[in-house]
With several copies, the nearest count.
Chain A
């Protein structure tokens, strides 16, 4: 069964995704186990990222300076890479701002 989640990019992270901030995506069913953030990152890299993946992912996680939010909470509170996605989850990737 497909899993529909919404992805959002802000703080400049959207510049890597054709400047589109909000993406509703359908993830195909996984044969072996649930979807986690770790799988999602691979999927984003393969399916959504337009260019320069190193500005978004590093190894199997997001690059330093990007904060991940799961339904308006810091992903650190939710299990980080191992969080299991549920239908209608909202996952936000924010690039930290440094300007003043």
Chain B
């Protein structure tokens, strides 16, 4: 939104009354939400619940990026889509679903692949970025782009019965590269198509990503910056890990960064940025 919203309409006061009466949110927090823009990269298992709850909370603008279209096998976890919207781009399906819940949110669908050419220009238009992607190459790309565009990155991931959550590049916490300077060998990486995932696991992590976004936007403190949440759904355990601070030696967020432009992340990781590529090439 270009012109900041400075007062809440009566309709907004009625609609958000249950969270307005929280002293930690209040009118100030609700206005911060109304003036905030959040880019959700990936409208899949993580992106769906994150988008739903950020739309519900009254986020001013939601960017919804996904290169893919809705398939029936997505619906066991991607709950913002519907049977009727199978074959529709996930970005527009998600935007449609969010607007049904809250028509006052400006939802912008991006039916495209994030890459080194388009990432920076796009990210600069948003305040907060959610990593709801499903592959290593895009995770490195998004990390580096968030450093360069100075945006906090709320990162979630899920596989089988497990989920992980953290916040990168926020309040002197580390970035993805501070933790993982070298990409994993491609043969050690398992995606949800191959490894499977119980649908509600990304549901839980995506909700937690929405909560972290609200906390960043409303300056509520105690985010998962420099902390990592490990959730094991099979054992029913949550563990919070204290992480290293930002690393001065980090090649992208360190004191003397050597990576100052986006690179070729598929080459860097030795893996594709999507697992749909070969089927698209067949068409």
Quick check: do A and B touch in the complex, using CB within 8 A? yes
Q: Chain B's nearest CB lies how many Å from the CB of A11? A: 6
A97-B159 in contact given A12-B195, A72-B241, A76-B244 (Cβ < 8 Å):
yes
Count chain A residues whose beta carbon lies closer than 8 angstroms to a beta carbon of B: 24
Q: Is A100 at the interface (CB under 8 A from chain B)?
A: yes
Which residues of chain B are near A10, meaning CB under 8 Å?
162, 230, 232
> How far does the alpha carbon of A61 sit from the alpha carbon of B45 in the complex, in Å?
33
Contacts of B44 in A (CB 8 A): 100
A97 to B229, CA, bound (A): 12
Give the segment of B103-111, B146-154, B181-189, B251-259 that binds chain A: B181-189
When C-beta atoms are compared, the residue in chain B nearest to A94 turns out to be B230
Asked if A95 is an interface residue, CB under 8 A from chain B, the answer is yes
The one of B183, B184, B235, B242 that contacts A73, using a Cβ cutoff of 8 Å: B242
Q: What is the distance, in angstroms, from A61's C-beta to the closest C-beta of chain B?
A: 11
Q: Tell me the total A-B contact number using a CB cutoff of 8 A.
A: 100
Cβ of A69 under 8 Å from chain B: yes
Whether B157 and A55, one on each chain, are in contact in the complex, defined by CB atoms closer than 8 angstroms, is: no
**A1 on interface, CB distance cutoff 8 Å:** no
A96 near B157 with CB under 8 A, answer: yes
Q: Is the CB of B185 within 8 A of A64?
A: yes
Contact of B180 among A12, A65, A99 (CB under 8 A): A65
Contact indicator per residue, chain A 51-92, by CB within 8 Å of chain B (1) or not (0): 000110000000111110100111011000000000000000
Minimum Cβ distance to chain A for residue B202 (Å)? 6
Known interface pairs A11-B159, A12-B195, A98-B191; A64-B183 also in contact (CB < 8 Å): yes
Q: Which residues of A contact B (CB under 8 A)?
A: 10-12, 21, 54-55, 63-67, 69, 72-74, 76-77, 94-100
